[in-house]
Structure 1
Amino acid sequence: YQDEILGNVHDNMKAKTVILNHSVTCKLYHGRTYKTQNLLEMIGIDRQLRLSIILQIVQPNGIASIINYPRSVDKYTRFLYFRYQSSIESCHPDLIKRQKLDKLFESDPRATHVITKIIRGIHAVAIIQLPHDEQAEIDNLLERIRASLEHKENNIPMTSKDRDLLSRIISTTVYSNIHTLSEITNIYDVWQKILQIRDKTKEHSDLVYILSPIQQINLENTVNNINNTMLKEHDIANFENSLLQKLSKLRVLNVRLNHELPELLQDRLEEPLTAAQHSFLEIEKLYDNAMQQIGDLLVSFRKNQVEINSVTEILNSDVQDTIDASTRRLTDISDDLTLKGNLIKQLENTGFEYYDAAKLGLTENSNKQFIEDLLLKNNYNKLFFCATDHLKQQLSKQWNTFHSQMIKQRQENPELAIIYVDFTYTKWNLKEMILLPSKQQTINIPQSNDEYINILLLGESGVGKSTFINAFANYLRYDTLNQAESSKPYVIIPVSFVMTINDEYDEEIIKFGDIDSNEDHNNSGQSVTQQCRSYVFKISNEKKLRIIDTPGFGDTRGDNRDNVNMKIIFSFINHLPYLNGICFLFKPNVKQLNRFLYSCYTQLFEFFGENIRDHFIFCFTNARSTFFAPGDTRPLLQSFFNSFPIKDIPFGKKNTFCFDSESFRYLVALQRSLVFKEIERDEFEKSWIRSVEEAQRFRNYLCKELR
């Protein structure tokens, strides 16, 4: 029912070893054929045992582990099969002479058979994956190797050119009854190893066990009642074909999703790939549970406890339909991702950069102008080709025309960057393929005379980056708190914060501004800002500030999330024409710096180079409590910079600015009709005046001193 070696017969058996002179079987199979579609059958395992292995009733080892071969078999796959029987060890003649055999087996009443013969030798299959070119030349070499093994010819010449050809084989996986053979990963060494050990029978291993049923040895004394219930050949064939198809598809999916696609995509399209990997785990769990059920039923059938219908019914159950449908769907997804990976390689080979528009954080309600602004960012030395997989498929002629046009423009203007923007994975529906800027615009000339100052804003989660942007814009707009109170707050980013009110210290949640899916205020400890987003507002008559708000580091989801956020940030700013500065936002009285700060600075220097240090700006918020000074955070930063490998990072009065966002929060709270005491209002007014002074100094630094 479930074959298992129970132990040794506790008696001295006389075994006889005979050296065999059998001929070698050595075959070379090409691709997926009738012979190679069932690998267990190819190596000579009988039907009943094959079924037990597939259902994991019996765990495969040695050459039977070929069932675990993970790759798909195609026209580039080759199988080099070798089998050689060198000796046979038998105790059967001695065993049948024994008397009182019941005493030999009564220690374990489960025993049904005894191993009476062991055939030893070499059994191996090398599965070889060829490159898509040079097949004919490599096949000729493989045939020479096969002939050498079959006829025991050690002196077949192999030139350095031949060795070089063999080294171009993509992969060689060996399954064998000899462990040292299974560890070899190139076909030349497999060939040499077999020739080396062929006549060394001590290095050979077990090939076949010959079992004799106990009742045939001693029908009178055996206590076992052997049940010879067997499945019909037709039933086994149907079982096997159905189960092997499922197993093969899942094995191929596993390799594609967890090995081939990550290598092909190179950290691109992480979201759809991760979703596909999670779906695969769910299918795999369903499959494992189903196989466990079928295996248990098959064992019960072999014990004559259930009818064959019980086994076949589960093969035709809704669960199996779900597994099949889910596997087909996931195969389609993996096919699409493979096509996308190959498209990205094709685009890059023709000079394109690939950009996944999902990183823009678009929603169904995003408008086209907003998306154009995000992509162009006042930079017309880049040409964007916006499309989706669906549009590419439906309008292939137009896609090819756009593609050719952009390559031609790049040839005419080598300084032009051409970027393929893929909207396939966005929530926003791109209805037609577009080129940005449009033909009416001149690529090298900005639309207006406004000069943009691009500043990247970085800081720990919860430090108040989004609030700082709002506060800074209001400090520049209103010189006094009276002016601000007479107007509505200038809210660039929706705000949400908790404010303590009245003498009872009640807390009120203050929200202001339109709902923005990019600002998630509901998960404490996680960054409120979900994606990079740029915000533009005038800071003088001549210049506009484009400040890029970013997800905060120190996210409670871990360092890995911080590294993912840094990748998102670099991807976003990579499409900016230039960056004027990087502004780090801190609170003035922290006890220790965030541990991710070191990695953050390291990645910034790796991305921009050492000169980026001259473009660092340091801003402190909530600075009213430290009299608008950096407070205890300053010595921590100085110590940090002193220990950092890159020295001379500027950090002084010139590039350091202190603000207080509480006066802006007070302004927002007034919109909710909250009442404050006069003394509280006086404090907010003082804070506003100092923050306006710092904002004006900051503006002058950005406009006149930062380059």
Structure 2
Amino acid sequence: MLSSPPSFDGGNDLHIIQIEEIQSPYLLIPIPEADLPTPTSLLYLSNSTSVASHPNPSHNPCILSKNMPTLHETSSLVTNRTAIDSSGRIGSLYDAYKDTIIGPLNVNMTEKQHEEFKSRKCMIINGNSDQKENILKTIGLENELRLSLSLNLRDKTGLAEILDYSNPINEYTRFFYYSYLDREETIIHNPVNIANKDKSAKPPIGTTHIITGVQTGIEIIVVLQLVADTQRIVEIDNVLQRLRTFLVNDDKILKLTQQEENLLANIIHTKAFSNIHVLRDVNIFYDICRCLKQSQNKSAKYIISYRLRPIKWLYPFYTGPGVEFISLPEHLSNNIE
């Protein structure tokens, strides 16, 4: 610190000032203890706090930026995202603006908790000329993810491959949607403790979220093109409703009469889109339904959705581009497709 004794007049309006260096009695920028996960470069002195007014060295005049959300504020912001790309895992980094998996974070997240659901959902949607785009909205695909797909910000994989379906869609088209939620796995770490596992780990540019939970199960959309026969279509629709009931309820055996099986032969084209590769290659609808029925109440390790937390949940002081994720306004969600 520089000290300035009183000046004296040197004549000709000149003032001579003698300056000498002395040791400051205060620590100007307190150094965080070794076990704090917060980088010191992102701490600053508050304009309203004077170091000299706190001679007690145990007092820390450093505070968070007023624009920096606290851990409590960010930890509650959990976002669900359909796993169009099922390569993500707990600890994977996520860019929610492009809906892409960036890569794993080098931290220890071994302590996890599990919850079983064994829940099923099934619906049948009648087709029309623009239903291909709206079907993803109908089954509940998130607005931001639908926007990323519409803008080609990410590849169309899994269920999203339906956007590249090239066959005509009309009043003779049916969309058969089925989902089976087996279980959810989430981490139970305190985020501060996770960060302490590897202080050198820093999220890459573009990271907005981290995957802290995954839901596993089965999700499939089957596009059915029916014969252009009004009376026959009514009968086929009745069989489809019967199959839907079989899949949703706890009936052990899925069994149709021979007449009902014959009616399904009037489905002239079948195309499946799913998070499970083997189901995509099955082109007989009744076989698909039997596969789905056999998989019920069994452990399914296929990822269907992610639970995302903002990257600041783990790194409260991270300030990379796009870190403040802004969700799509609700009034724009109807204008995506």
TM bracket (short chain):
0.5 to 0.7
Aligned to 1:217: 314
Change over 3 Å in CA distance of 1:231–1:136 after alignment to 2: closer
Amino acid at match of 1:179: H
Aligned to 1:540: none
Change over 3 Å in CA distance of 1:102–1:111 after alignment to 2: farther
Distance 1:28 1:56 in 2: 27
Out of 63, 69, 75, the residue aligned to residue 159 of structure 2 is: 63
Contact 2:119 2:182 (C-alpha < 8 Å) held by counterparts? no
Contact 2:224 2:270 (C-alpha < 8 Å) held by counterparts? yes
Deviation at 1:85?
0.9
Kindly provide the CA deviation profile for residues 454-495 of structure 1, in whole angstroms up to 9, marking residues without a partner as x.
xxxxxxxxxxxxxxxxxxxxxxxxxxxxxxxxxxxxxxxxxx
Deviation at 1:229?
4.3
Contact 1:131 1:169 (C-alpha < 8 Å) held by counterparts? yes
Normalized per residue, the structure richer in helix is 1
Deviation at 1:235?
3.7
Distance 1:56 1:40 in 2: 15
Contact 1:9 1:104 (C-alpha < 8 Å) held by counterparts? no
Distance 2:131 2:118 in 1: 23
Deviation at 1:101?
6.8
Aligned to 2:330: 233
Give secondary structure in 1 for the equivalent of 2:100: coil
Distance 1:111 1:80 in 2: 35
Distance 1:22 1:199 in 2: 6
Deviation at 1:15?
4.2
Aligned to 2:125: 29
Contact 1:123 1:207 (C-alpha < 8 Å) held by counterparts? yes
Aligned to 1:106: 202
Deviation at 1:16?
2.4
Amino acid at match of 1:237: N
User: Superposition pairs for residues 151-170 of structure 1, below 5 Å?
Assistant: 151-170=249-268
Change over 3 Å in CA distance of 1:154–1:90 after alignment to 2: same
Structure 2 residue 116 is the aligned partner of structure 1 residue 12: no
Kindly provide the CA deviation profile for residues 291-334 of structure 1, in whole angstroms up to 9, marking residues without a partner as x.
xxxxxxxxxxxxxxxxxxxxxxxxxxxxxxxxxxxxxxxxxxxx
Structure 2 residue 150 is the aligned partner of structure 1 residue 54: yes
Out of 266, 269, 282, the residue aligned to residue 184 of structure 1 is: 282
Contact 1:39 1:67 (C-alpha < 8 Å) held by counterparts? no
Aligned to 2:212: 116
Kindly provide the CA deviation profile for residues 391-440 of structure 1, in whole angstroms up to 9, marking residues without a partner as x.
xxxxxxxxxxxxxxxxxxxxxxxxxxxxxxxxxxxxxxxxxxxxxxxxxx
Contact 2:272 2:280 (C-alpha < 8 Å) held by counterparts? yes
Deviation at 1:22?
4.7
Change over 3 Å in CA distance of 1:140–1:20 after alignment to 2: same
Distance 2:284 2:243 in 1: 13
Distance 1:107 1:196 in 2: 42
Normalized per residue, the structure richer in strand is 2
Amino acid at match of 2:179: R
Amino acid at match of 2:216: R
Give secondary structure in 1 for the equivalent of 2:325: coil
Structure 2 residue 303 is the aligned partner of structure 1 residue 206: yes
TM-score, normalization by structure 1: 0.32
Aligned residues: 238
TM-score, normalization by structure 2: 0.64
Change over 3 Å in CA distance of 1:80–1:22 after alignment to 2: same
Out of 168, 173, 197, the residue aligned to residue 295 of structure 2 is: 197
Contact 1:13 1:95 (C-alpha < 8 Å) held by counterparts? no
Amino acid at match of 2:237: D
Deviation at 1:164?
2.1
Out of 181, 184, 187, the residue aligned to residue 85 of structure 1 is: 181
Aligned to 2:271: 173
Structure ranking higher on relative contact order (CA contacts 8 Å, 6+ apart): 2
Contact 1:176 1:182 (C-alpha < 8 Å) held by counterparts? yes
Which structure 2 segments of 5+ residues have no match?
Answer: 1-96
Distance 1:156 1:100 in 2: 52
Distance 1:232 1:107 in 2: 27
Amino acid at match of 1:131: V
Distance 2:165 2:297 in 1: 29
Runs of 4+ in 1 over 6 A off after TM superposition: 33-36
